[in-house]
Amino acid sequence: MAIKKRIFTPGPTEVPPRVLQSISRPLIHHRTDAFREVHAEIEEGLRYVFRTGNPVLVLTSSGTGAMEAAVANVTMPGEKVLTTPCGKFSERWDEIARAFGLETVRVEAEWGRPVDPSEVERALASHPDITVVLTTHCETSTGVLLDVGAIAKAAHDHGALIVVDAITGLLAEDVDTDGWGLDVVVGGSQKGFMLPPGLAFISIGPEAAARVKKPGHPVYYFDLAKALVSLEKNDTPYTPSVSLFMGLHTALEMVRAEGLEATLRRHRRNAAAVRAAVAAMGLEIFSHAPCNATTAVLPPEGTAGEIVKRMDGDYGIRIAGGQARLKGKIFRLGHLGYYDESDMFTMISALESVLKEMGIIEACGTGIGALLESFASDE
Amino acid sequence: MAIKKRIFTPGPTEVPPRVLQSISRPLIHHRTDAFREVHAEIEEGLRYVFRTGNPVLVLTSSGTGAMEAAVANVTMPGEKVLTTPCGKFSERWDEIARAFGLETVRVEAEWGRPVDPSEVERALASHPDITVVLTTHCETSTGVLLDVGAIAKAAHDHGALIVVDAITGLLAEDVDTDGWGLDVVVGGSQKGFMLPPGLAFISIGPEAAARVKKPGHPVYYFDLAKALVSLEKNDTPYTPSVSLFMGLHTALEMVRAEGLEATLRRHRRNAAAVRAAVAAMGLEIFSHAPCNATTAVLPPEGTAGEIVKRMDGDYGIRIAGGQARLKGKIFRLGHLGYYDESDMFTMISALESVLKEMGIIEACGTGIGALLESFASDE
């Protein structure tokens, strides 16, 4: 028998069979009441996940498309914005802002550490003309969780809007859109939403909605004002990715059946157990503020690439390597989305075997033992 | 038994079961050799369909996203471009161009008629500073075919680039990208490609590629220069819609198995038979230059909406109504994509029954008779 293929990356993540079935149903036309009903229920489900009363738009694009949509619709040319680069994806905000001709004030942190909200406060104080803060919830490339609640507070105290990339964070970590007053929150389908890639989500608060009405940059495909008008009739301005909408509908049903709190608890438990296992095997956790979506691990120098390769070759388990400046230095274990305790058993057992085979650890059992202990003690 | 649902719109079109199966296969990660091999074969298949040696990029967006990508990457701010509005989608080029601050010279035609290439020539002669022509191959809203070969010649004689929306045209009509020297051609998945919506295609000729390297407008998600570099490694800059790529791979296999010439012939035969049936039933064909993708029909005033409704309600057959200024005035029969002769039997028989029921025709048999005759006589 060929080995089974399993995906354990922080996106794309595993897609439940029920969702795959929904995606492969014969097409319905998007300008029909049947589609509009599905869309209305999707909207309700997204608001539940985002914890918001704001409209949440579904865009047919990658998450990056929604990030661009946020910048193009919410900022004005020449404005000064604050970014929080501390990894590949928080760096992306800075790149997009510069592509749109904005001046960016960078509040950075070393990769592996979160940006300090008090430094954001200080930067805002020195730049009274900053109007928008573009930040990241879970930095996927490093497994770092940023304190978005505190950064949002700093932004609001300053009178700036806060725009958050929660693509990897949503459903793995609490995203309290309304409680924290997040003006714009961006999500993506191939993450906690348990879908293939191809859809992005973007919530628009009242102040952002006012800006969206008079975009300062050229917008057409990502014209959010037009999309908001369409949404009132459960419609989209352009042909949506209908099959993925059907899958999203099913995935959101699954999320509601489990409940948001139970979903977050499951992610917290899986992540804590994986971290316990990694530490027990004597490997370093790369992130100094680890998030519950993915665990970035710093193995002995020069071994990361081989570990990723053997996990796939020997066990059919696809984990992620490092990106950009972390390429070949770290590996990342995914526990974001449709994963239960047994999945963690599989992933950590395979990892432990690979590490033993490579001579990085001496005997097997410590890692998986710590994983089981963590699950048992973490109610 | 509930009536079966059948889709006969000019997009989305029917998706073959084999393609639906490919879409619902468990995900593979996009940064793997397995995915790159699929992508390489897709690229080869797209070049076959586009009849080009130029690179053809696959974007995770609707077709409109690729239209925007063309304008954003190929034009410079303040440039003067020529558009050919004669329906909703050719009008879209003008809208996008204006959204990007371009001056547009409109060479229009009444909806239902194609723009005259000699008028394009004259407009180019009066505006020596026009640098790009943005035109449409099949105008979906009216079922009109434009003479893109002649418009391309006019553009080239003038020294302008030609950018073509062939979203509805590809696979229903010959698109000779290299023969006609088309600088940019845009396609979409939910049309002749027999896929759900969610992917767009864009071919980039050498002169366009030179412009793309120094885009004059802000681009990030739709940065075509970056996408062209990624394509060299069969990669995409951002997470692609993996499931739809898998479906596209299968759909292109099917196209190659049938052969492009046979595919075009099938579309020509289906379209000719449908037009013969419509004429035999005494209804007016709206288009004065009908394309082989969709047949727009002008029924007695005030009946179009009811016809569309009854086709769906009585037979589960979803055809399209009119759009924009044609809303409630015409209906559109789709024969673009995965349809054979038997599908045309079904669609026309149902239409004939509905027309009889509504008292628009007196007896059944004329339409379907003409359809069968057309198939029999059209080798």
Q: Tokens for A25?
A: 């149903």
Size of interface A-B (CB pairs under 8 A): 174
Which helix (H) or strand (E) segment is A38 a member of? helix A33-50
pLDDT for residue B379 is more than 80: no
Distance from CA of A269 to the nearest CA of B (A): 25
**Cα gap A127→A121, rounded to integer Å:** 10
CB contact under 8 A, B220 and A11: no
**Chain position carrying tokens 């979160």:** A114
Q: What are phi and psi of A53, to 5 degrees?
A: -95, -5
pLDDT per residue over A273-314, tens digit each?
Answer: 999 999 999 999 999 999 999 999 999 999 999 999 999 999
**Cα gap A13→A24, rounded to integer Å:** 18
> Which pLDDT does position B215 carry in this prediction?
93
> For residue B350, which amino acid is it?
A
When CB atoms are compared, the residue of A24, A27, A190 closest to B12 is A27
pLDDT per residue over A171-203, tens digit each?
Answer: 999 999 999 999 999 999 999 999 999 999 999
Q: Tokens for B51?
A: 């009849």
Closest chain B residue by Cα to residue A12: B29
Dump the DSSP string for B91-156: HHHHHHHHHTT-EEEE----TTSPPPHHHHHHHHHH-TTEEEEEEESEETTTTEEP-HHHHHHHHH
> Which pLDDT does position A1 carry in this prediction?
86
pLDDT per residue over B40-83, tens digit each?
Answer: 999 999 999 999 999 999 999 999 999 999 999 999 999 999 99
pLDDT per residue over B148-191, tens digit each?
Answer: 999 999 999 999 999 999 999 999 999 999 999 999 999 999 99
pTM of structure: 0.94
Banded pLDDT at B378 (limits 50, 70, 90) = confident
When CB atoms are compared, the residue of B29, B223, B238 closest to A9 is B29
pLDDT below 50 — which residues of chain A? none
Q: Mark residue A11 as left, alpha or beta (left: phi above 0; alpha: psi -120 to 50; beta: remaining).
A: left
Give contacts of A12 with chain B, Cβ < 8 Å. Answer: 27, 29-30, 239, 242
Sign of CA dihedral B255, B239, A237, B306: positive
> Which pLDDT does position A2 carry in this prediction?
85
Banded pLDDT at B145 (limits 50, 70, 90) = very high
Contacts of B265-270 with C-beta under 8 Å, sequence gap 24+, read: B266/B340, B267/B171, B267/B172, B267/B173, B267/B192, B267/B292, B267/B293, B267/B335, B267/B336, B268/B292, B269/B341, B269/B374, B269/B375, B269/B378, B270/B335, B270/B339, B270/B340, B270/B341, B270/B343, B270/B344
**Cα gap B262→A90, rounded to integer Å:** 50
pLDDT for residue B370 is more than 90: yes
If you average pLDDT over residues B282-296, what whole number do you get?
98
When CB atoms are compared, the residue of A28, A60, A99 closest to B62 is A60
Closest chain A residue by Cα to residue B221: A65
Distances (CA, A) of A142 to A7, A164, B64: 19, 17, 35
**Chain position carrying tokens 């490339």:** A141
Distances (CA, A) of B279 to A149, A303, B203, B348, B371: 66, 72, 37, 12, 10
When CB atoms are compared, the residue of A21, A26, A68 closest to B221 is A68
Regarding beta strands A200-204 and A184-188, do their DSSP bridges make them parallel or antiparallel, or are they unpaired? antiparallel
**Cα gap B342→A198, rounded to integer Å:** 34
pLDDT per residue over B74-123, tens digit each?
Answer: 999 999 999 999 999 999 999 999 999 999 999 999 999 999 999 999 99
Percent of chain B with pLDDT over 70: 100
Best B31, B60, B74, B193 member to test A by mutation, with max A CBs in 10 Å, is: B60
> Which pLDDT does position A379 carry in this prediction?
73
CB contact under 8 A, B68 and A220: yes
Residue A268 three-state SS: helix
Rounded to a whole number of angstroms, the distance between the first and last alpha carbons of chain A is: 38
If you average pLDDT over residues B137-141, what whole number do you get?
98
**Cα gap A10→A192, rounded to integer Å:** 9
> Which pLDDT does position A70 carry in this prediction?
98
